[in-house]
Amino acid sequence: MKKNIKLLVSFVIFCVLFAGCNKFFQYILIDDTASYTRLTFHEMYEQENIDVLFVGSSHCYRSFIPEILDKELGVNTFNCGTSSQHLDGSYMIIKEAARYNDIKHIYLEVYFNAAFAVNKERTDLTQTYIISDYLRPSLDKVQYLLNASTKEYYSNSFFRARRNWSRFFDADYIKDLVLKKGTAAYKNYEYTYVSQETEWYAGKGYVANNQTVENWNYFLDKELLAVDFDTVSKDWLHALEDIIDFCDKKGIALTLVAAPMPNYLLAAIGNYDEYIGLIQDMIADTDIRYYDFNLCKEEYFPNTSSLFKDKDHLNCYGAEKFSQLFADFINGKIPEEDLFYDSYEEKIGQLLPTVFGIVYQDRSNDKGETTRKCQIVSTGNDSLEYKVTLTPQEGEPYKLQGFSANKSFAVSPEGHGVITITYRLGNLPDEMQEVQVVY
């Protein structure tokens, strides 16, 4: 009996010492002085009660503004989006939030690009750690970390300082970090310590950004936009099933949503309706609803790039407009049949002829010569004609092609400048519009 007690006491002492060492070393080695999620989860635990929870990746925390939603919906909302959040992370957050709050409704943002991650293939666990590092200890948290990766990452998962062990003898780094963590702003969880010139934490999980994309100035590698929905991860599917089951058992209403993305992205990937069909099939035998705001009609959410900060995310102007639209829709002010098209193919077919930007692919031949093939991304109207002019960074502009239905052309991969696309409908040759793309 005494031996058992002695072993138990020794184990408790070991755990206390381990936790203390872990906390000390992570304080001097792990730099989280620019972490949004440190603020988000601190505020989550500070809430008296969360009535409505928003969960998802950066599309979530850049789209849903609790300040607007609280006012319009008349409840306490909270945004628990995190960067590149996978669905197993969403499931962990949902369980943790439900542990401390009587949640009535969860809106899960289901950004399509999060659907391909395989847990055991993860080599960068940043997306996992920015969640787990700021959640309170629990068996759910342990299980989350065990399932998030292979065994070789367990030391980093459970001993945070191990992730930055190379800095252990870097006295300048440690000194600088301790000074930053010693500021009142960091200690008191003030928003100012993560504020940047164009981006800032705006409270209850929402992150604002005032950058804009003007006049469809997009020029991106086509490989970044290629999507094969036949390769959706089983881990993603299982996590979605787990979330559905958990909410059903807890009596929490669950709604799947997709925040607006630029038409450039959706037109470039070309098969977004396959993803919509995948989600609809997943919830076909449930009472869960799925609202994809990429199907919004123009009169409710206009087709303009200036509402976005990049190829994926809304800026603060787009988020304000979207949050108000979302609240109006949830409050029944806008009928579903009036707000949405039935498919993205139908939507883009109804848009006015528009050039959304350019995608490119670099290809090398046997001689090691690289060619950059460009393709215009547009509404796909067969009657559109394009004139393409290139203005090098140094030099005079010259024409790559006259008005033609051709959407493909080549530029030097080493060159820089501006590509001007002038476009018109073939039957209206005098009515022209122009897009300038920096390359």
Residue 149: CATH number of its domain: 3.40.50.1110
- What angle (nearest 5°) sits at the alpha carbon of residue 326, between those of residues 323 and 327? 85
What SS3 state is found at 148?
A: coil
Q: Is 272 a member of any domain?
A: yes
Partners of 143 in the β-ladder: none
Looking at the structure, do residues 337 and 372 belong to the same domain, yes or no? no
Looking at the structure, do residues 320 and 367 belong to the same domain, yes or no? no
Looking at the structure, do residues 391 and 319 belong to the same domain, yes or no? no
- Which pLDDT score, from 0 to 100, does residue 320 have? 98
Looking at the structure, do residues 251 and 308 belong to the same domain, yes or no? yes
Number of residues written out for the chain = 439
- Which pLDDT score, from 0 to 100, does residue 436 have? 97
- Which pLDDT score, from 0 to 100, does residue 431 have? 87
CB-based contacts of 432: which residues, under 8 Å, 6+ apart?
A: 422, 423, 424
Q: State the Cα–Cα distance between residues 347 and 351, nearest whole angstrom.
A: 7
Looking at the structure, do residues 341 and 379 belong to the same domain, yes or no? no
Structure tokens at 258: 């997709």
Q: State which of 347, 382, 400 marks the end of a domain.
A: 347
- Which pLDDT score, from 0 to 100, does residue 197 have? 92
Identify the segments of the chain with pLDDT beneath 70.
Answer: 1-22
- Which pLDDT score, from 0 to 100, does residue 25 have? 77
Q: State which of 287, 322, 347 marks the end of a domain.
A: 347
Q: State the Cα–Cα distance between residues 188 and 127, nearest whole angstrom.
A: 24
- Which pLDDT score, from 0 to 100, does residue 375 have? 97
Looking at the structure, do residues 150 and 187 belong to the same domain, yes or no? yes
pTM for the full model?
Answer: 0.93
- Which pLDDT score, from 0 to 100, does residue 366 have? 78
* β pairing state of 77-81 and 105-109: unpaired
Looking at the structure, do residues 279 and 256 belong to the same domain, yes or no? yes
Q: Is 9 a member of any domain?
A: no
Structure tokens at 261: 């993305």
Q: Exposed e or buried b for every residue in 8-29, given b needs 16+ CB within 10 A?
A: eeeeeeeeeeeeeeeeebbebb
- Which pLDDT score, from 0 to 100, does residue 13 have? 59
Domain that includes residue 420, residue range:
355-438
Looking at the structure, do residues 361 and 342 belong to the same domain, yes or no? no
Looking at the structure, do residues 59 and 87 belong to the same domain, yes or no? yes
Count structural domains, the chain. Answer: 2
Looking at the structure, do residues 311 and 178 belong to the same domain, yes or no? yes
- Which pLDDT score, from 0 to 100, does residue 68 have? 98
Partners of 108 in the β-ladder: 55, 256
Looking at the structure, do residues 119 and 232 belong to the same domain, yes or no? yes
Q: Is 19 a member of any domain?
A: no
Q: State the Cα–Cα distance between residues 58 and 309, nearest whole angstrom.
A: 12
Q: Is 16 a member of any domain?
A: no
Contact in structure between 361 and 400 (CB atoms under 8 Å): no
